[in-house]
Amino acid sequence: MNTVHRMLLKLSGGRVGWDAMGMPVIELTTTGRKSGQPRTALLTAPLVEGDTYVIVASRGGDDTHPAWFLNLRDEPRVGVIIKGGAPETRLARVATPDERARMWPLITSRYRNYAGYQRRTEREIPLVLLEPLP
């Protein structure tokens, strides 16, 4: 899906594709935990609180975490492009249990697909906060 999305962005000159289902699209670049190389994924942010963007490590309800999530757990300094803006470095961290308990219902009430993903898997789908560097 990322390949199709990238083609849409390229063909439209970036005019189309930075919003999906009412969510901002974020280009997230992590450092590969095995390769040490940059790895980029296009993701949606179903929740924005102030300057913090929240992304969901759902992988469509798969039983394994997405590679980008495993990468940022090892190296939380990530590259982020928000809605086609200027690249920036942010700090990625997994939501605490209290934060997730508050945020998850906000996300799933507006974007029900995430609730469906959670029903498909036994793992608790993590929320990741992309925070500006201090």
Q: What is the pLDDT of residues 64-106, one digit of tens each?
A: 999 999 999 999 999 999 877 899 999 999 999 999 999 999 9
CA separation (Å) from 64 to 88, 95, 121, 123?
28, 18, 9, 8
Distance of CA 14 to the CA centre of its chain: 19
Long-range CB contact pairs, 4-11, < 8 A, 24+: 5/42, 6/42, 9/84
Residue 1's pLDDT is what? 52
Is residue 12's pLDDT more than 90? no
Residue 20's pLDDT is what? 56
Q: Hey, what CATH topology would domain 2-132 get?
A: Pnp Oxidase; Chain A (2.30.110)
Tens digit of pLDDT for each residue in 39-63?
999 898 999 999 999 999 999 899 9
Residue predicted with more confidence, 53 or 13: 53
Dihedral of CA 8/9/12/16: which sign?
Answer: positive
pTM equals 0.86
Model confidence at 30, pLDDT cuts 50, 70, 90, reads: very high
Q: In terms of residues, how long is the chain?
A: 134
Residue 24's pLDDT is what? 87
Residue listed under structure tokens 């029900």: 112
Task: Name the token pair of 119.
Answer: 């029903």
